[in-house]
Amino acid sequence: MNRAFDPSGIAPPTGAYSHGVAAPPGSRLLHVAGQIGAGPDGTVPPGFAEQAERVFENIAAILAGAGMTMADVVRVNGHLVRAGDIPAFRDVRDRHVGTAPPASTVVVVGALASPALLVEIAVVAARAP
Residue 120 burial by Cβ neighbours in a 10 Å radius (0-12, 13-18, 19+): buried
- Under DSSP, the state recorded for 78 is E
- Other C-beta atoms closer than 10 Å to the C-beta of 59 total 20
pLDDT of 65 > 90? The answer is yes
Residue 38, domain CATH = 3.30.1330.40
Provide the domain limits for residue 65.
Answer: 15-124
Phi, psi of 102 (to 5 degrees): -80, 170
The answer to whether residues 117 and 81 touch, using CB atoms and an 8 Å cutoff, is: yes
pLDDT at 35: 97
The tens digit of pLDDT for each residue in 28-62 reads 999 999 999 999 999 999 999 999 999 999 999 99
Q: How many residues does the chain have?
A: 129
Is residue 1 very low, low, confident or very high in pLDDT (cuts 50, 70, 90)?
A: confident
Q: How does pLDDT run across 11-24, given as a tens digit for each residue?
A: 988 878 899 998 88
Average pLDDT, the chain: 94
Q: Does residue 90 form part of some domain?
A: yes
Name the domain count of the chain: 1
